[in-house]
């Protein structure tokens, strides 16, 4: 029952907070002015357990989940790309790879599972996920990470 109430709260927040357009991607080089730093594996082990992750996908959907200490979570999506007002949920798993990347797998019901690993870069007070923390032309995507 507690989990159901939590999901309803997340769903309500998704509908209220979702922007109308997708986030614009930036590149790693664009973060240099704010002293970007790639988080280490140790820093991720402090930051990610129990953290709430929120993002806007390329399709304009707002996704949100809370990393459970055991490596699981339930993700919610507002499904904006489908013109839907009904959010959906899916089970997921998260981990930190040996090379210090944040890895996520989400078992969405209506699309292929989402499976990725990204370096987490902090720039100013914002966090970004990126495939490479070395290539200045690599795209970065905003992740709101809160505890």
What residue ranges of the chain have pLDDT lower than 70? 1-25, 84
131 vs 73: CA distance, rounded Å: 22
92-103 pLDDT, tens per residue? 999 999 999 999
Half-sphere exposure of 134 (CA within 13 A, CB side): 0
pLDDT for the residue numbered 135: 97
55 vs 146: CA distance, rounded Å: 12
pLDDT for the residue numbered 24: 52
Which residue do the tokens 């339930």 mark?
74
pLDDT for the residue numbered 20: 29
95 vs 105: CA distance, rounded Å: 9
Length of the chain: 147
């Amino acid at each position: 029952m507690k989990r159901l109430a939590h999901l309803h709260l997340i769903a309500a927040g998704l509908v209220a907070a979702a922007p109308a357009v997708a986030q614009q991607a930036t590149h790693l080089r664009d973060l240099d002015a704010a002293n970007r730093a790639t988080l280490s594996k140790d820093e991720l082990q402090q930051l990610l357990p129990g953290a709430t992750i929120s993002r806007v996908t390329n399709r304009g959907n707002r996704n949100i989940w809370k990393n459970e200490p055991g490596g699981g979570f339930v993700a919610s999506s507002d499904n904006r790309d489908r013109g839907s007002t009904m959010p959906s949920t899916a089970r997921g798993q998260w981990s930190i790879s040996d090379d210090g990347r944040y890895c996520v797998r989400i078992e969405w019901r209506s699309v292929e599972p989402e499976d990725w690993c990204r370096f987490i870069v902090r720039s100013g007070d914002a966090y970004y996920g990126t495939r490479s923390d070395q290539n200045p032309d690599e795209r970065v995507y905003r992740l709101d990470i809160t505890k």
